[in-house]
Amino acid sequence: MPQFDPSVFSPQLFWLLVSFIALYWLVAKVAVPRVGEVLEQRARVIQEDLDRATQLKAETDAAAAAYEKAMADARHQAQDHMRAMQADVKAVSEKRTADITGQIGKQVSEAEARIASAKQAALDAMKGIAADTARDVVAKLASVTPDAGAVDAAVAAALKETR
């Protein structure tokens, strides 16, 4: 094997040094700057993407805040509208309740008047029937025709006692 021959070590060391220096120069002057450019370009692209993402996040946050504000305004407006509608409905129902209460009160008063009139008519009719019956009973039992005024007074006195 020629690599292990001590007589050829010097040329081998020389060419090793020349190859190393050439390779070092090639890597230092060509490969490293290109890799550095690629790394810088990637860092620039990443930074631009981060800046764009930050900008889009800020726009999104602003849009979300505007949406939340619009929703809150809509909720408040809906609540105000509901309160107004409830007040209107309450006013209408109170008015209708008052109207119906008045009508019912009037009908009750009229009914009470009719009942009192019917009661009085029934009492008058009952007085007449009682007086006729008393006259007929006295006439049959005593064989005497009683005075109509006396019988009416007796029936009226009897009715007052029962009340």
Residues 50-102: tens digit of each pLDDT: 999 999 999 999 999 999 999 999 999 999 999 999 999 999 999 999 999 99
Residue 13 lies in a domain: no
Residue 129 lies in a domain: yes
What residues make up the domain containing 31?
A: 18-162
Residue 3 lies in a domain: no
Q: For residue 3, what are its two tokens?
A: 């690599």
Identify which of 137, 123, 121, 130 has the alpha carbon closest to the alpha carbon of residue 152.
Answer: 130
Band (162; pLDDT cuts 50, 70, 90) = low
Residue 6 lies in a domain: no
Residue 22 lies in a domain: yes
Residue 40 lies in a domain: yes
Residue 47 lies in a domain: yes
The 10s digit of each residue's pLDDT in 3-34 is 677 777 888 889 899 999 999 999 999 999 99
pTM of the complete model: 0.44
Residue 100 lies in a domain: yes
Domain count, the chain: 1
Say how many CA atoms lie within 13 Å of 114 toward its Cβ.
6
Band (160; pLDDT cuts 50, 70, 90) = confident
